[in-house]
Structure formats: structure tokens, C-alpha cells
């Protein structure tokens, strides 16, 4: 009986490693529709908002093990006043994009954040992202109250 339990628990991990579960690119994640989005505004310039999100995402999501790597990529453009953070899982056979967080300049003191999540994770990770930005939370999960 124990052998079957171990085999069953390994199946989801193996599926993630070998076939992937999330869309392969940031643009596909952006196109998943409104239920995959989490949108809010911050009373700060887009650059420090980007810096905060990028640093926290690296701390909370970037990991490496024997067969997969979760990598956080960031792109900040002063010319277009825009930043983007992507969380991508690289498995043995492919790459899957799990989060895309776009930070737009509204004006010198305000930014718009549109976060896109694959696998119906907007309600789980969106509030955490908002706590990072608005409450300066350093928690990787919901802030302890």
C-alpha cells in the first residue's frame, strides 16, 4: 500500500517536470482573461514599485533543484516608463510562465500594477503582491495579522 501512495504523490511532480502545466510565454499568460488578472494602483513611482516587486519575487519564488529551475526575470524601461517581472519554471523539456507582473507609470507619484497568473492563482498571489507594494510586506505568503 505504501508503494502506491508514494507513486501517486510523485505523479503531479513528474507531470510538472516533464510536460508543464502553465502557458509557455508571458503573452499567453497575459491573454488568459480577466479571471487571471489582479489589478491595483500604488501611490509611488513605477521604478521603486518595480524594484520592490522584483526583489520580493526573487526572494519568494526563485529556486533551483536537480531537474527544474524557477527563475525570476525583470525588465525596466525608463524610456517607456514600464516594468515587467516574470516567474518562469524551466523543466527538463520546456519552460512554463506562472506569473507576469506589469508595472505602468501613471504619473510621478502613482503606478498601475497588472498581475497575470496562470493556473487560477490570481486570488492566491494577487493579495500577497499588493501587500508587498502597499504595506512593504516581506512575507512570501499572506502577511501575518
CATH number, position 61: 3.30.310
Position 59 scores a pLDDT of 95
Position 32 in a domain: yes
Position 143 in a domain: no
Nearest to 53 by CA among 113, 122, 141, 121: 113
Q: Using an 8 Å Cβ cutoff, are 3 and 63 in contact?
A: no
Position 8 in a domain: yes
Position 46 in a domain: yes
Position 140 in a domain: no
pLDDT 10s per residue in the chain (145 long)?
444 433 333 333 443 444 446 667 888 889 988 889 999 999 999 999 999 999 999 999 999 887 889 999 999 999 999 999 999 998 888 889 999 999 999 999 999 999 999 987 899 899 999 999 999 999 998 766 5
The domain tally of the chain equals 1
Q: Residue 67: which domain range?
A: 2-135
Backbone angles phi, psi at 126, to 5 degrees: -60, -50
Position 42 in a domain: yes
Q: In this structure, what DSSP letter does residue 35 have?
A: G
Strand segments, DSSP code E, in the chain are 37-42, 63-64, 69-77, 82-90, 95-107, 110-117
Position 15 scores a pLDDT of 37
Amino acid at each position: 500500500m505504501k508503494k502506491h501512495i508514494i507513486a501517486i504523490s510523485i505523479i503531479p511532480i513528474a507531470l510538472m517536470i516533464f510536460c508543464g502545466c502553465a502557458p509557455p510565454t508571458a503573452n499567453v499568460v497575459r491573454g488568459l482573461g480577466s479571471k487571471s488578472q489582479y489589478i491595483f494602483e500604488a501611490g509611488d513611482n513605477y521604478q521603486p514599485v518595480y524594484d520592490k516587486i522584483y526583489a520580493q519575487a526573487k526572494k519568494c519564488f526563485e529556486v533551483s533543484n536537480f531537474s527544474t529551475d524557477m527563475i525570476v526575470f525583470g525588465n525596466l524601461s525608463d524610456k517607456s516608463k514600464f516594468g515587467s517581472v516574470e516567474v518562469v519554471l524551466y523543466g527538463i523539456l520546456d519552460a512554463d510562465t506562472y506569473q507576469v507582473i506589469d508595472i505602468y507609470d501613471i504619473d510621478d507619484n502613482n503606478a498601475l500594477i497588472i498581475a497575470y497568473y496562470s493556473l487560477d492563482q490570481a486570488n492566491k498571489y494577487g493579495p500577497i503582491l499588493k501587500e508587498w507594494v502597499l504595506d512593504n510586506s516581506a512575507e512570501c505568503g499572506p502577511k501575518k495579522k
